[in-house]
Structure 1
Amino acid sequence: MLIPWITAFQRRNPELFVNLTLTLGPMHIIPPECDIRINHGLYPCSNAVIRKLGEMRRMMVASAGYLAKHGVPKTPEDLEFHELLGGNDLVNGAPLVLLKDNERVIVPIHSKLRLKDHTAARTAALFDAGISVHAFRYDTMELVRRKLLIHVLPDWEPEPSPVSLLLPIGRKPSSAVEALCDFIAEKWRSNPELVFDHGL
């Protein structure tokens, strides 16, 4: 999602050079050479000004082959009998939190295959390894439409993942940095699978 946005921004600003580093897991400080960090999750960052973008909605998906062999869950409680494939925030034993209107259900996870990345978990689901429980809707719905994956318990949605833009404290952002932040916020707002923070 991010790389096409940056590419589009560079087409508008052909004189701009971008050094992009992708990381997995929490970073609690912004490196000195970094102008913008896009933070996924609730990890604190001590030397940053935070601009909230919003939240990434999640969904649960599995392959037809896995569900044919292990059964289709009818309730959140049924998930305890399935192989659940999560992301980085579930790998250390945190439970799965599911939401439906005003209801909230907590499901423990006892996975044999522990993955630190939601994309890897979704890929494992494609190969019948279990139910990916933290798949992001923005890049998973197309796989569901193509019938490569099946939306599991569609009335229930895993807790969304908050996303923020972080800018270094004590350094005035350049006009290019401000313009890129505004451009990312504009792209975020226009994506129907993302929840925009209207306080931005």
Structure 2
Amino acid sequence: MRTEFFSWFHLEEVDRQVRADDSGIVRFRPGNPEFRPQVLCEMDCGTGGALTRVTVAISSTFIDDPRTWAFARDLANSFLTDGLVFQSDVDTVADVLRDLKHRPHSGVQRVPVKGVSEDALFDSLTDAMSRGETPVAFMGSPAEQPPELPSVVSRGFAVYSGDRPSFRRDLTLTRFTMENVTVDGGRVLRMSLERRTR
């Protein structure tokens, strides 16, 4: 499978269970050793090997860790974006995509850097570190600066953050689901795209 989600995170097959009718499950994990135990992707195939569901499970420690939260957001965003077939599907989950991309992480403050000198940026980052914060610098053009966000997060992002148990939206060909489950005593976010059967 050659999507941005698979190639960017270097997902590698780790397990395959196939029955005589070619149905089964194929499991993947990231190639990066730090990310590998934190993320599991499963592809469910029906009779004849037709893809029926793709699920990614992301550990809350990967989502919440100051060192990896940006990668977790990118992974969730890429998973969902790769599964959207039509513009109407993009519109249906636009609020979730917006929040995954632009909502600030707890303890991370975005500071506009347009027109700021390198010395001023360095001083700002150093000050944040001296206060015990984890500074993150987002570089890019003014067009890439975050949009004005509503004060209330989307329901999907509330699930991503662990503040809601589940969320579901029907898309043109699939059903998109997000849910928090407990695995080995810790929170795991499961995101699924499942083929709808009308």
Bin for the TM-score computed over the shorter chain:
under 0.3
Query: What is the TM-score when the length of structure 1 is the normalising length?
Result: 0.22
Query: What is the TM-score when the length of structure 2 is the normalising length?
Result: 0.23
